[in-house]
Structure 1
Amino acid sequence: MPNTYTQIHLHLVFAVKHRTAVISPSWKYKLYHYMTGIIHNHTHKLLAINGMPDHVHLLMGMRPTQSLSNLMQQLKQDSSKWINENRLTANRFAWQEGYGAFSYGKSQLPAVIHYIENQEEHHRTRTFLDEYRRFLDAFDVDYDERYLFKPLE
């Protein structure tokens, strides 16, 4: 796209279906590497990725050549398929519907990267749902509790 200049930085948050804690420390970095490849293959730039056994955070520079919803569909679909083909979980793996997407300016990126890199520390005192609500509130996103990530079953 000649004469198109953008600077779009997005922090994406998404959860395992029913928020089950199945992303194992033994293979989570392989998953992150696989997801990085998906993002790069769509010409976006991954800046940070980390998570917990029940959810993932990633920060990326996004090119305007693809919609966010299309990228998230591809990322979830391809990574689920990879997890299932490699039989990394006892049951069929799936991501929960929906995701959070929060935009940041370039000067804010170091703090966001630090936050993503230190997920274990943040979750010593805060659940995933509490964390997610805090993001929604901080970004003044209207939401309905009934449509947040499905509760544990």
Structure 2
Amino acid sequence: MSTSLRKASHSVFSIHLHVIFVTKYRRQVLTKEMIKDAKKVFQRILESNYSILSNCEGEADHLHLLIDLHPNNNISNLVSSLKSASSRILRKKYPQEIAQHYWGKNAKLWHDSKCIISCGGAPLEVIKQYIDNQSGGKES
């Protein structure tokens, strides 16, 4: 993973965020397939916002994302988009699996809170290694 600077029309930047999403009530709902599908959603949304999903792994009750952020983004709005889109798509694709843990057609998958950590203090390789060591969800 490179820590080199990225360039935009009027800026040079290197902004890396470690974002953690936790499932509502810390339910053990995420499978490996759900995590793979969530990654695709995250990549699509981040690319449309000129940002990069550098890494994404997790377990049955949470996901870690390492994001190379473009400075034109409002972090809170971007994170809200990631959570709402992934929840909507996963609930649509895996209704029976999610219904085992949550009820109601508009049940939230993610807890309302979020953890966002600037990655300036630790080397990115250490954070990447930490995320890579996440187990990848429960068995399907």
Q: TM-score range by the shorter chain?
A: 0.7 to 0.9
**Greater strand proportion:** 2
**Greater helix proportion:** 1
Q: Normalising by structure 2, what TM-score?
A: 0.77
Which residue matches 1:109? Answer: 124
Q: Kindly provide the amino acid, as one letter, of the partner of residue 102 in structure 1.
A: I
Aligned equivalents of 2:91, 2:59: Cα separation in 1:
19
Aligned equivalents of 1:30, 1:79: Cα separation in 2:
8
Q: Secondary structure at the match of 1:89?
A: helix
Could you list the runs of 4 or more consecutive aligned residues of structure 1 that deviate by over 6 angstroms after TM superposition? none
* 1:36 to 1:106, Cα distance in 2 relative to 1, 3 A: farther
Aligned equivalents of 1:114, 1:32: Cα separation in 2:
17
Per-residue deviation, 1:27:
2.9
Q: Kindly provide the amino acid, as one letter, of the partner of residue 49 in structure 1.
A: C
- 1:67 equivalent in alignment to 2:74: yes
Per-residue deviation, 1:78:
0.5
Q: Normalising by structure 1, what TM-score?
A: 0.71
Range with bigger deviation, 100-109 or 79-88? 100-109
Please give the residue correspondences for 1:1-153 in structure 2 after superposition, counting only pairs within 5 Å: 2-86=9-93, 87=95, 88-90=97-99, 91=102, 92-105=107-120, 108-120=123-135
Number of residue pairs the alignment of both structures matches: 121
* 1:107 to 1:24, Cα distance in 2 relative to 1, 3 A: closer
Q: Secondary structure at the match of 2:38?
A: helix
Aligned-residue sequence identity (percent) comes to 27
Which residue matches 1:144? Answer: none
Name structure 2 gaps, 5 residues minimum. 1-7
